[in-house]
Amino acid sequence: MSELVLSNARIVLADDVVNGSVLVRDGLIADIDATNRGSGEDFEGDYLIPGIVELHTDHLENHYRPRPGVFWDPLAALHAHDVQIAGSGITTVFDAVRIGSDLDLPDMFDHAQKLVDAIRIGPDQGWLRADHFVHLRCELPTSDVLDHFEAFADHPQTRLASVMDHTPGQRQFRSLEDYKRFYAKHMGRTESEMQAYLDARQAEHDLYSAKNRAAIVAGAHKLGLALASHDDVTLAHIEQAADEGIAIAEFPTTLEAAAAAHDAGLAVLMGAPNVVRGKSHSGNVSASDLVAAGLLDILSSDYVPFALLQAVFLLPQRIDDIGLPDAVATVTRNPAKAAGLVDRGEIAIGKRADLVRVSNHARVPGVRAVWKEGARIS
């Protein structure tokens, strides 16, 4: 039997913040003492929150492909990613792996295979700090996304799949002119080359998107994977997702879509960088506006892991109707529930002792210690 006592902490519970101590026994939370009589590691009044549960981060891919045309050793990329994830207070992470080849990366399967293999091998080698699962990001308007899905979906570490369509003129970039302005300089193409690119992408959408979506949704349900719909814009998008039994509306781009998703019982997920910056990088609806409207359930770090903790402590400062427990729930209890992880995401007796010590005395919160199942990992 192993025990750990964390005392003199401001403990963020599901609906309150209490001063006290937490007893951890054999990796689980065994007791919560609000009288603060426990002896053990003195938190000096720092916050104790549940370990963060991250459903959508591109950060592993960024370590694997740090520059265009540069691909890093996948295990080394996972190691670097894991260190930063744990140091940001994230104890459970769903690593996004894009599947479906496109004109820029025709060998997508090989890259996805390397990343998925690393995520599967890493836990066996004992050096990963956080729990890592696979989130398959399924680009629907591609010829081989279904083959990729079938290769990677049936494995215990694959727990989540999102259906997405980044065709110009669809969803995130409804306006072709906005798409051209956003990407023309980045892609370094002439106007005629850009138009040819747009025509090719739209033809792929017409040929593949609908049938791939139907097959992947059916396959995910058969395997028991959680499902997310990406960049929903309209009521029709949400109605389709609800009819398909999708659980998560991932980055809805409009207030209308977020409200419809909320009414339909889908968990609404937005990016924490959107909260920190106060706006979307692509001009879509603000995550803070959704919080104020009572429409946001889950935050993801998307491309900045530490943004989750920043957003948690910013929201109560910016929005009168949200307290710290509700803000913390957007990165802990709510994502755990949406992903079917009922053993974590909350400081409650019997839950996993995934815990984070947070100091909030400076301009940004600071992670001082992280435990996973009662073991110190950062």
Give all domains of the chain, ordered by start, each with its CATH number.
51-342 (3.20.20.140)
Mean pLDDT over the full length of the chain: 91
pTM comes to 0.92
Q: For strand 17-25 and strand 3-12, is the pairing parallel, antiparallel, or unpaired?
A: antiparallel
Which residue would you say has higher pLDDT here, 85 or 190? Answer: 85
Please report which confidence band the pLDDT of residue 158 belongs to, taking 50, 70 and 90 as the band edges. very high
Q: Which token pair is 51?
A: 């370990």
Residue 83 has pLDDT above 70, yes or no: yes
Per-residue confidence (pLDDT) for residue 12, from 0 to 100: 98
Which residue would you say has higher pLDDT here, 233 or 181? Answer: 233
Q: How far is CA 268 from CA 80, 231, 247, 261, 300, in A?
A: 29, 11, 9, 7, 11
Please report which confidence band the pLDDT of residue 168 belongs to, taking 50, 70 and 90 as the band edges. confident
Q: Which of 256, 209, 206, 265 is nearest to 236 (CA)?
A: 256
What is the 8-class DSSP label of residue 282?
T
- pLDDT tens profile 28-72: 999 999 876 667 899 999 999 999 999 999 999 999 999 988 999
Residue 173 has pLDDT above 70, yes or no: no
Residues whose CB is less than 8 angstroms from the CB of residue 351 and which lie 6 or more positions away in sequence, other chains included: 28, 29, 50, 343, 344, 345
Residue 185 has pLDDT above 60, yes or no: no
**Alpha-carbon distance 97 to 137, whole Å?**
6
